[in-house]
Structure 1
Amino acid sequence: MIVVGLTGGIGSGKTTISKCFASYGIPVYIADEEAKALMNRSKVIKRKLVELFGASAYNDKGLNRPYLASKIFNDKELLTKMNAIVHPKVASHFKRWLKKQDAPYVIKEAAIIFENNLESQYNYIITVVADENLRIQRVMKRDDASKQKIESIIANQLSDEEKIKKSDFVIVNNDLKVAMQQAEEIHKKILQKLK
């Protein structure tokens, strides 16, 4: 099965572009959503996260995301430890999901493909980019987050220029109509390559 990675910085519009591919009948796996679901569902992950972060890692609603975010925000070592707990589980969940798919290819949306050196797991990689100010506005609206917080997240991610160099395809998502046309062209190109 051909696996196409879809990546991009925070607020670039990865999820919107994923929906374009889904509308062409391409199965889409959103790694962040699956990770959140597994962090609430898996007893093993829960136990290990409580060992790492303490009892406050979970509250009566499940995963205490604001608490975890505050802990890992400026602590790369804690983030690495958390990823070491969660990522292998997401990877095996993806493998099981992949076996059930029947399509020319699948899309796996993941924010930090390049940051984690995971390029080898994909046949092709699409990077979604957008102007930084637009990205900041989108995330402020979506997450009710401060401009300062979003800027520091952007600063921690690989630059768009670096991602573009490592990508097979690029979608510029400043104008949704144009971005959707680019997604359709890429879809056709991938199908062409598979012939």
Structure 2
Amino acid sequence: MKIELFQHNRPFTVGVTGGIGSGKTAVTNFFASKDITVVDADIAARVVVEPGKPALAGIAQRYGPDILVNDNLDRRKLRTIIFDDADERKWLERLLHPIIREQIVHELSSAESSYAVLVSPLMLETNQHELVDRVLVVDVPESIQIERTMARDQMTEEQTRQILNSQIQREQRVAKADDIVDNSGSLDQLHHSLEKLHQFYLSLA
């Protein structure tokens, strides 16, 4: 599907992004509670490497059968490979990003809510920002990102910092935002801020 055609066949779309551990899920859960369609780029990325999909076959061909567990991708092993080798990370991005984009386009085109939300941790690092009308950045201090990620994913601080360093810097992300929501406070505070944004997006849709 050509992007020009896609732009005329989707609802007004808000792109939600933020660094690891910023709380993007809490934000998208709020929008989903308002019956807004949420398309998750991470889920799209998992769909395209399901058993039987060409992308998974390409990954297995490059890294061998040990990259699979019961015919499924061993994500932890793949993550170790790409964080240890920048060239391998670039190879994987060249393979997956166009396929993930196609999946996202398909899901957004099927949205029937007043507006749609696309959530992606790499929206500003990839061309996914071209698929949205506004970018909403979920912002928290780096110390909170590290604390939340280590607790949630059982990762070491070194592993967490590797991921942080592979993503766009906080200052750059904020500079590219149309809207910013601070998620360093309570859930009630977050919802209060998001309700205002929800009404604003309804007025734009």
Do both proteins adopt the same fold according to a TM-score greater than 0.5, normalized to the shorter chain? Answer: yes
2:176 aligned with 1:166, yes or no? yes
Q: What do residues 5-30 of structure 1 show as CA deviations (whole Å, max 9, x unaligned)?
A: 11000000011111011011110011
Query: TM-score normalized by structure 2?
Result: 0.88
2:201 aligned with 1:193, yes or no? no
Residue in 1 that maps onto 2:28: 18
Residue in 2 that maps onto 1:97: 107
Query: Which residue among 177, 180, 186 is the counterpart of 2:188?
Result: 177
CA RMSD of aligned residues (A): 1.5
Q: What do residues 48-95 of structure 1 show as CA deviations (whole Å, max 9, x unaligned)?
A: 111222222211161111110110013222112112222222222222
Query: Which residue among 74, 78, 84 is the counterpart of 1:74?
Result: 84
Measure the CA separation in 2 of the matches of 1:117 and 1:89: 12
Aligned length: 194
Measure the CA separation in 1 of the matches of 2:127 and 2:102: 18
Taking the TM superposition and a 5 Å limit, the aligned residue runs for 1:144-159 are 144-159=154-169
The alignment partner of 1:39 has SS state of coil
**Which consecutive segments of 4 or more residues in structure 1 shift more than 6 A?**
none
Residue segments in structure 1 that go unaligned for 5+ positions in a row: none
Q: 1:21 to 1:87 in 2, by over 3 A?
A: same
Q: What do residues 99-124 of structure 1 show as CA deviations (whole Å, max 9, x unaligned)?
A: 32211211111111111244322100
Amino-acid identity (%) = 26
Q: 1:63 to 1:34 in 2, by over 3 A?
A: same
Query: TM-score normalized by structure 1?
Result: 0.93
Residue segments in structure 2 that go unaligned for 5+ positions in a row: 1-10
2:45 aligned with 1:35, yes or no? yes
